[in-house]
Amino acid sequence: MKRLFERKPNIVLVGFMGTGKTSVGRRLASQLRMRYVDTDDIIERDSGRRISNIFSEDGEPAFRDLESDAVCKASKLYNHVISTGGGAVLRETNMKVLKQSGIIFCLTATPEEIYRRVRHQSHRPLLQTPDALAKIRSMLAERKPYYAEADYMVRTTGRPFREITGYIKHVYAKNTRGSKR
Ligand code: S3P
């Protein structure tokens, strides 16, 4: 069903860590002449702290509260590509405001591919564990129903960026034909 937006809707990217939200989002924004915003960046900018410090000092629930504030802020923008943290889908209220602000695309990848992409990175507190692949598998299974709330699922494993952005742009154009900026 087509939703009604007062202005041209945002493109909202959700999806597990390492599914390419930042890389795809930045490319989309530049190709479509839209602005790019990332909820993790909003959290770090507003709090003046790194995500990993928020997790280690205050715990995950405190991080989720800051994340909801950031999601609300981002949802008020327009003509933006909004990239969200992998767990933003977990709160129903986040999904509700995101749905009002744009079309939600969930980027997906296989657990093995996610592991390959993130294994040398250290900025994601939830994956700092000896068996990161097992953790990725179990978190993906837990979060599956939340990611399924997105409007469109977009596979990224083995697909070039050109194809991924091409698909999203095509769907976005189809959904926004006739709407004002
Ligand atoms: C998280 C994903 C991270 C970041 C935080 C928690 C998650 O964002 O918000 O570490 O719960 O999946 P990315 O998906 O951009 O890595």
Per-residue model confidence as pLDDT tens digits over 151-161 = 999 999 999 99
The verdict on the CB of residue 102 being under 6 Å from ligand 1 is no
Quote the pTM value: 0.96
Residue 40 CB less than 6 A away from ligand 1: yes
**Number of the ligand 1 atom closest to the C-alpha atom of 118:** 16
pLDDT of residue 173: 96
To the nearest 10 degrees (0 to 180), the angle between helices 21-32 and 161-176 is 60
Q: Does the beta carbon of 44 sit less than 6 angstroms from any atom of ligand 1? A: no
- Strands 152-155 and 102-108 turn out to be parallel
Q: Per-residue pLDDT tens for 120-135?
A: 998 899 999 999 999 9
* C-alpha span between 167 and 139 (Å, rounded): 27
User: What's the CA-to-centroid distance between 178 and ligand 1, angstroms?
Assistant: 35
The Cβ of residue 127 has, within 10 Å, a number of other Cβ atoms equal to: 20
Q: How far is the CA of 17 from the centre of ligand 1 (A)?
A: 6
CA distance 62 to 136: 22
pLDDT tens digit sequence for 71-118 = 999 999 999 999 999 999 999 999 999 999 999 999 999 999 999 999
The pLDDT mean for the chain works out to 95
